[in-house]
Amino acid sequence: MNEREVKFDLIREVLKDEFNFSSIDAIEPLPSLFRSKNFAVIADSKKYFLKEYHTLLSYDVHPISYSRRTFAEKESSVILPKQDRYGRDMFRTDVWCSLFPFIDQHTPTADDLSEPYLHQLGALTARMHLIGKDQDLKPYYPMKLWHKERFEWEVVELERAMERRALSDPVDRDVKEILKLKQAFIEREYVAAKDIDLPFDHLLHGDMIYQNTFTDEQMNITHLYDFEKTCIGPRAFEIARGIMINCFDDGWDERNFNLARAYLKGYTEIYPISKEDIAKGILMFQMHFSHLTWFYVSYVLMMEHKPTTMYESHLRRVKHLFDDRNEFIDAIYPKN
């Protein structure tokens, strides 16, 4: 797939006009896995982070801005963008963008994760949920969940594309194995979203994962960012997703279970939640995850990226879909 050409002259022109900068000294692309591009910008001798958004519509980007400002009123770790001369924190070049202060701190990797860090992240998630439960939900979209027919259609396209290419690529083999396992899980466990009794009553960040935090040298969380998945949904789903991604990204051994215990302990100390609701959240996550195909579509059909380690994490999660759900929850839910 052809990449969108970066219009550096347009970016310079818009930044100088919208923010009254006298000079744009540098615009440097930053690494990014997916379609949106991000840049380090030096303007008037100060460094900024220029973020592009996937969507072209203001109707879609405004909830991101509104949600971010809503959470920032009560949670100091949320990073807010610089406002332009019209008082907006989003603006257009050829796509919608925001200009953030450049945070020169550490973003954790899976190797960095520890029980104290996961306890912090669980507590931060709980604070965000307490803020999100009292909000007017009308300006936001509900969380998009699975649809069995959509999954089946996309599997057909993926299989046809891989047959046409006839590649022996290890990622292709992983994708084929993942799809086969997901189909088996859906056949065995399928539940419609409407039949899981969890209320859509919280404004959610939508992507409360370790990759969206900055930490200091002692691994204390200092900043939270990336509100592109903000939505209305059940807090139990976001907790379940946080457990699976934050605690089991690099393995499924006792260390990972200890991370999950620390995460849930940090959460429940601030905002209690029943084991029954956690079980429903885990089921909802499993159903949603088992129907997801975008990650494979972006590689197989759109040829956008090939992050092998991410496929390894996906494959591991898929294999553990078949574990006993109740045993898993008993193992991680706080005992007191």
Residue 2 has what pLDDT? 52
Same domain, 138 and 283: yes
CATH number at residue 18: 3.30.200.20
What does the angle CA 304 – CA 145 – CA 127 come to, to the nearest 5 degrees?
Answer: 95
Same domain, 94 and 23: yes
Last residue of a domain, one of 42, 69, 101: 101
Which domain, by its residues, includes 249?
110-332
Same domain, 204 and 57: no
Handedness of CA 22, 27, 30, 32 (dihedral sign): positive
Judge contact between 239 and 271, C-beta under 8 A: no
| Tokens at 263, concatenated | 């995460």
Same domain, 178 and 246: yes
The verdict on residue 1 lying in a domain is no
Nearest to 282 by CA among 221, 332, 241, 331: 241
| Tokens at 43, concatenated | 């303007």
- Give me the residue label for tokens 């109707």: 59
Residue 167 has what pLDDT? 59
Q: What is the DSSP letter of 243?
A: I
Same domain, 129 and 75: no
Same domain, 83 and 156: no
Q: Longest Cα pair distance anywhere in the chain, in angstroms?
A: 62
- Model confidence over 54-75: pLDDT tens digits? 776 788 899 999 999 999 999 9
Same domain, 39 and 58: yes
| Rounded mean pLDDT, 292-314 | 69
Same domain, 181 and 235: yes
Tell whether the model's pLDDT for residue 229 goes beyond 90: yes
Nearest to 293 by CA among 189, 195, 197, 186: 186
- Total domains present in the chain: 2
CATH number at residue 304: 3.90.1200.10
| Tokens at 192, concatenated | 């419609």
- Model confidence over 81-123: pLDDT tens digits? 999 999 999 999 999 999 999 999 999 999 999 999 999 999 9
Phi, psi of 238 (to 5 degrees): -65, -35
What count of Cα atoms within 13 Å lies in the side-chain half-sphere of residue 317?
27
From residue 202, how far is each of 116, 120, 125, 255 by CA, in Å?
26, 21, 12, 31
| Rounded mean pLDDT, 186-197 | 95
Judge contact between 229 and 326, C-beta under 8 A: no
Nearest to 209 by CA among 168, 253, 259, 284: 259
Instruction: Band the pLDDT of 1: cuts 50, 70, 90.
Output: very low
What 3-state DSSP class applies to 59?
Answer: helix
**What is the pairing mode between strands 91-92 and 96-101?**
antiparallel
CA–CA gap between residue 245 and residue 262 (Å, rounded): 14
| Tokens at 56, concatenated | 């072209």
Q: What is the DSSP letter of 244?
A: I
Ordered DSSP codes for 191-212: --GGGS-----EEE-S---GGG
- Give me the residue label for tokens 């994490």: 313
Same domain, 57 and 169: no
The verdict on residue 2 lying in a domain is no
Tell whether the model's pLDDT for residue 157 goes beyond 90: no
What 3-state DSSP class applies to 223?
Answer: strand
CA–CA gap between residue 53 and residue 35 (Å, rounded): 9
Mean model confidence pLDDT for the chain: 91
Nearest to 50 by CA among 102, 99, 103, 101: 99
What are the beta bridge partners of residue 24?
43
Same domain, 128 and 271: yes
Phi, psi of 42 (to 5 degrees): -110, 115
The verdict on residue 288 lying in a domain is yes
Residue 54 has what pLDDT? 79
What is the CB neighbour count within 10 angstroms for residue 163? Answer: 8
Name residues whose C-beta falls within 8 Å of residue 287's C-beta, 6 or more positions apart in sequence.
145, 146, 189, 190, 191, 193, 196
Tell whether the model's pLDDT for residue 328 goes beyond 60: yes
CA–CA gap between residue 267 and residue 255 (Å, rounded): 19
